[in-house]
A and B are shown apart, each in its own frame.
Chain A
């Protein structure tokens, strides 16, 4: 699980060395990272930092408020909310980054091919993408999970498929302009193969918009993952997960509002952080800015 997370962070962070400093000095990115990194760290550490077993029930302490023995209180079965929010974060982050990584893996090659080949290939690929995009995201996710057994991998896959067309579209539009550049023409005149031109000449020059789109998608993927498990199609009990926690908490809102509040706050902070990072990257990776710095 931990290795999965690390590969997916890599896929949203293949920056060009000279702009690393610029990325880190951006205020939004700084703030976003300041929120996201602790959340991610705690989620990765999971059991080691959680004070209780997240599935252990403490029947005597049901609906406990924050403070005291249980820092954030307990739910309707007397399970420790802090431990559940921490472990639930692991599921949500895995969903966010895993699904985005999958979407990039599928969407980027499609977008590159469509933007470079143009004509019929472009039409064909992009119309398929349009069809996928024309189905409301949540509905499409639901459809996939109704057919497939609902476990965490299938949720990642479902969200990945839902978001791949959006990544493809962004990649295609960036590719369209880059493929008209003269260095691409020069590569063709050298007789380079199409895969070389796509992945070595074009891809490094379209990473900016893709990274931005990817980082924004992480937040959306977490949201949609949460929504799916809210609707009962997530990773499933007894594994904690924010969406499922919120959905269960709804029934107990009069006994303890904290049950609802904590996972919601965690969700809010995480999505906000990824959006901040996405916005920041958009500013920093603006191709004109990258080209100009001397």
Chain B
């Protein structure tokens, strides 16, 4: 967060200005007006955030700026000016010399944006050769290495010779950024740069973007759905909704006193860690682009909406002329005066009962070697879950948190007997799940259910909602056909879906509705345990909140236990009573939600928490950044598995002895050689790896 932005913007040099841009797409049944009257400005040396839910037109705007819209899309009206040049009237030749050279667009998905058959170095070199006069081969190579060094990739010469698949996700994202930076662009467009990265990797990437901004004096347009990311590194923010800009202004003002009901609702709906607040869902849905309502597009979901909001087009109103804070709302004064009152989180009154599942020294190895490799014993299995023990009790919600690849999903699925156990045991009601009789297995299946991350993939596309919901009833209960029918509708009602969806197929529903159907299916046969595998991470933030609240309500109502698997600590905190933190196949810390988060003790948990971007632009917090990447699960480090990245490593003992989970009191178990006092020492900038 830089403070220089408080100087008046007109003093600065405008790099990019988009004025009243209209973009249309031709589709099968007419034209879609994807962007309407969108204006945006990026100054030199400024980071401008562009936020919005999926379908709001963020990427369309980015593509329109670089004149790269799909063949069926065109700019209908408005202007795009870059350093005084009109991009809309630029010839193809001029555009080519601008793209990649003066404007760099870093696309969303690094694994598909990098060419898998070219080395990283060659891909960077390609851009440089196209746009710059390179005297000699050595100079080209040197520039490739320079730019790789700038994005903090260790050993640039080594990285340049590698292929994309040989890099981790975070490294790929850096390599992609290096391509963008290779010609010293004046404007860098980052389209969802950290989506799909782990929080620890994301935090390091954001630090890097901050550093680069200072170094290059370039303008950055940062597109993301993650408001925390914007709050962390942007100077100004633009809030886009269904193709219209609803609010724009300096991050400090927009995030602390939003002047648009949508921004306000969006901030209230985002779960935050250690803020002790409930999340407040936004009612309704984003309007379809082929049926844009008259007047304000947010009116249907807005608490402040009046008759006049629905009649005329709403113009941008100036909230703070001095700092260019504008809002497209007739009632912005009311909005500023009436901040949303978010109720404090109520402690759950759930009392855990007897253990449902007991997991003892569970190991799950994946043997990827083929027949021959097994024969000569020339490989190590992937240790996805390594010696994990814990219990899940009746009526409690247990959170399982960790970065991607730590084995949390494998653990969840192994518990439900979807994978075989390598060693150790899982006991259901006192019986090992591997020795259940057919009858008992059926009972186990009916009482333990699972909800997946991607609702679209978890519902059979060829079934109607009714068939999906009635199937478990038919399998697990002896209800007659008409009873199943009523129960299916009752379930839909409980997950807040109308019975009009009952004959629809999954693809006719929105992502949030699909997830509700999946939840209804899991609850159909009154289960006692549900494994939730990242249940909200593929949903938009406004939908996320309503699903979280629904899960919370159902948990109370049915007394069901949850095992909530997530990489998102704020989601875990919102629902869970107890948390287990997982790293490289092992549980390194468990305890009640308060014990884990408030304050965190284990060095890894501390790093995870400090990596989460917060919504408050003024908040100062400790920055703990982890070095390097998660080690290979095929060959985990000796001793404590976290020792290779631990900022508080003591010494040899960490490399030789694997710490046991020790109960530090009240059921809070930590697996670390440090004492509790040492773990709570403040970690200042000396550990800040930037």
Binding site for B on A (CB under 8 A): 16, 181-183, 185-186, 188-192, 201, 204-205, 290-294
- Is there contact, CB below 8 Å, between B457 and A191? no
Candidates A185, A192, A290; contact of B418 at CB < 8 Å: A185
19 A-B interface contacts by CB (under 8 A): A182-B454, A183-B457, A185-B413, A185-B450, A186-B458, A188-B418, A189-B418, A189-B448, A189-B449, A189-B450, A190-B472, A190-B475, A190-B476, A191-B441, A191-B446, A191-B475, A192-B475, A204-B462, A205-B462
Q: Which residue of B lies closest to A183 (CB)?
A: B460
How many of B's residues come within 8 Å of A, CB to CB? 27
Q: Which of B652-672 contact A (CB under 8 A)?
A: none
Quick check: A291 and B461 within 8 Å, CB to CB? yes
Cβ B459 vs Cβ A183 within 8 A: yes
Residue B131 is within 8 A (CB to CB) of chain A in the complex: no
Give complex CA distance A189, B417 in Å: 8
Decide yes or no whether B508 CB sits under 8 A from chain A. Answer: yes
In the complex, the answer to whether A190 meets B452 with C-beta atoms within 8 Å is no
B471 contacts partner chain A, Cβ-Cβ < 8 Å? yes
Determine the residue in chain B with the shortest Cβ distance to A202: B460
Residues of B within 8 A of A192 (CB): 475
**Interfacial chain B residues near A292, Cβ < 8 Å:** 507
B183 contacts the other chain (CB 8 A): no
A252 to chain B, nearest CB (A): 55
- Which of B449, B460, B507, B518 is close to A201, meaning CB atoms less than 8 Å apart? B460
> B507's contact among A186, A188, A205, A294, by CB below 8 Å, is which?
A294
Whether a CB of chain A sits under 8 angstroms from the CB of B486 is no
Contact partner of B471 (CB less than 8 A), chosen from A185, A190, A293, A294, is: A190
Q: A185-B452, A190-B449 are in contact. List 4 more A-B contacts (CB 8 A).
A: A189-B416, A191-B445, A205-B462, A293-B507
Q: Which residues of B contact A186 (CB under 8 A)?
A: 450, 452, 458, 518, 521
- Tell me the bound Cα distance from A186 to B506 in angstroms: 15
- Report the separation of the CA atoms of residues A186 and B441 in the bound assembly, to the nearest whole angstrom: 16
B442 at the interface (CB under 8 A from A): yes
**Which one of B445, B462, B476 has the highest number of Cβ atoms from chain A below 10 Å of its Cβ?**
B462
Q: Which residues of A contact B508 (CB under 8 A)?
A: 294
CA of A189 to CA of B433, assembled, Å: 13
Complex: chain A residue closest to B505, CB-CB = A18
Give the CA-CA distance A16 to B476 in the complex, in Å.
Answer: 29
Among A181, A182, A204, find the residue whose CB has the most chain B CB atoms closer than 10 A.
A182
Kindly state the separation between the CA atoms of A255 and B457 in the bound complex, as whole angstroms.
65
Chain B residue nearest to A290 (CB atoms) is B461
Residues of A within 8 A of B472 (CB): 190
Docked complex Cα distance between A192 and B460 (Å)? 14
**Are the C-beta atoms of B452 and A291 separated by less than 8 Å?**
no
Minimal Cβ-Cβ distance residue in B for A292 = B507
When the two chains form their complex, are residues A190 and B457 in contact, meaning their CB atoms are under 8 A apart?
A: no
Instruction: List residues of chain A with CB within 8 A of the CB of B454.
Output: 182
Q: How far is the CB of B494 from chain A (nearest CB, A)?
A: 19
Per the bound structure, the CA–CA distance linking A188 and B448 in Å amounts to 12
Report chain A residues within 8 Å CB of B457: 181-183
State the CA gap A204–B461 with chains docked (Å): 9
Which 9 interchain pairs have the tightest Cβ spacing?
A191-B445, A182-B458, A204-B462, A182-B452, A182-B457, A183-B460, A189-B450, A181-B457, A183-B458
Give chain B residues whose Cβ lies under 8 Å from the Cβ of A182: 452-454, 457-458
| Complex alpha-carbon distance, A182 and B416, angstroms | 14
In the complex, the answer to whether B462 meets A189 with C-beta atoms within 8 Å is: no
Render B450-482 as a binary contact track against A, CB cut-off 8 A, 1 for contact.
101110011111100000000110011000000
Distance between Cα atoms of A201 and B472 in the complex (Å): 14
Chain A residues near B459 (CB, 8 Å)?
183
The residue of chain B having its C-beta at the shortest distance from the C-beta of A188 within the complex is B418
Q: How far is the CA of A190 from the CA of B417 in the complex (A)?
A: 11
Q: How far is the CB of A186 from chain B (nearest CB, A)?
A: 5
CB within 8 Å of A: which B499-525 residues: 507-508, 518, 521
Contacts of B462 in A (CB 8 A): 16, 204-205
Q: How far is the CB of A291 from chain B (nearest CB, A)?
A: 6
- Report A-chain residues with C-beta under 8 Å of the C-beta of B446: 191
A179 → chain B closest CB, angstroms:
12
B616 smallest CB distance to A (angstroms)? 36
Nearest Cβ on chain A to B286's Cβ, whole angstroms: 15
Question: How many Å lie between the Cα of A280 and that of B292 in the bound state?
Answer: 36
* Closest chain A residue to B521, Cβ basis: A186
Q: How far apart sit A181 and B446, CA to CA, in the bound complex (Å)?
A: 21
* A198 CA / B442 CA spacing, docked (Å): 19
Which residues on the A side are within 8 Å of B452 (C-beta)?
Answer: 182, 185-186
Contact B445 A190 (CB under 8 A): yes
Q: Which of B452, B458, B460 has the most CB of A within 10 A?
A: B460
Residue of B nearest to A203 (CB): B462
The distance from the CB of A7 to the nearest CB of chain B, in whole angstroms, is 23
Bound CA–CA A181/B460 (angstroms): 9
In the complex, the chain B residue whose C-beta lies closest to that of A207 is B462
Q: Which of chain A's residues have a CB closer than 8 A to the CB of B441?
A: 191
Contacting residues, chain A, for B448 (C-beta < 8 A) = 189
In the bound complex, CA of A189 to CA of B441 (Å): 11
A205 partner residues in chain B, CB cutoff 8 A: 460-462
Chain B residues in 8 Å Cβ range of A204: 460, 462
Which chain A residue lies CB-closest to B508?
Answer: A294
A68 to B121, CA, bound (A): 77
Nearest Cβ on chain A to B121's Cβ, whole angstroms: 34
How far apart are A189's CB and chain B's nearest CB, in angstroms? 5
- Shortest distance in angstroms between B459's beta carbon and chain A's nearest beta carbon? 6
Q: Which residues of B contact A181 (CB under 8 A)?
A: 457-458
- Bound-state Cα–Cα, A293 to B507, Å: 8
Q: Which residues of A contact B460 (CB under 8 A)?
A: 183, 201, 204-205
In the complex the two chains form, what is the Cα distance from A192 to B476 in whole Å?
11
Query: Who on chain B is nearest to A186 by CB?
Result: B458
Question: Measured between alpha carbons, how far is A201 from B446 in the docked complex, in Å?
Answer: 19
Residues of A within 8 A of B453 (CB): 182
Bound: A192/B416 CA distance, A = 14
Residues on A with C-beta less than 8 A from B449 are 189-190
A293 CA to B454 CA, complexed, in Å = 19
- Most B Cβ at <10 Å: residue of A188, A189, A290, A294: A189
Interface 1/0 per residue, B411-434 and A, CB below 8 Å: 001001010000000000000000
Alpha-carbon separation in the docked complex, A75 to B108 (Å): 69
Using CB atoms, name the residue of chain A closest to B531: A189
The distance in angstroms between the C-alpha atoms of A292 and B461, with both chains bound, is: 11
A189, B507: Cβ atoms closer than 8 Å? no
> Which residue of A has the minimal Cβ distance to B468?
A183
Pairwise interchain contact A291-B458, C-beta atoms closer than 8 A: no
Distance (Å) between the CB of B30 and the closest chain A CB?
Answer: 14
Q: Which residues of B contact A188 (CB under 8 A)?
A: 418
**A191 lies within 8 A of B442 (CB):** yes
Complex Cα gap A186–B515 (Å): 13
Set of chain A residues within 8 Å of B413, measured between Cβ atoms: 185
B563 → A minimal CB distance (Å): 13
Q: In angstroms, how far is the closest chain B Cβ from the Cβ of A11? A: 18
- How near does chain B come to A88, taking the closest CB pair, in angstroms? 40
**Nearest-CB residue, chain B, relative to A192:** B475
Q: How far is the CA of A16 from the CA of B460 in the complex (A)?
A: 14
B525 to chain A, nearest CB (A): 9
The smallest beta-carbon distance between A244 and chain B, in angstroms, is: 44
Q: Mark B399-415, 1 if CB is under 8 A from A, else 0.
A: 00000000000000100
- Per the bound structure, the CA–CA distance linking A181 and B456 in Å amounts to 10
Q: What chain A residues lie within 8 Å of B518 (beta carbons)? A: 186
A291 to B505, CA, bound (A): 11
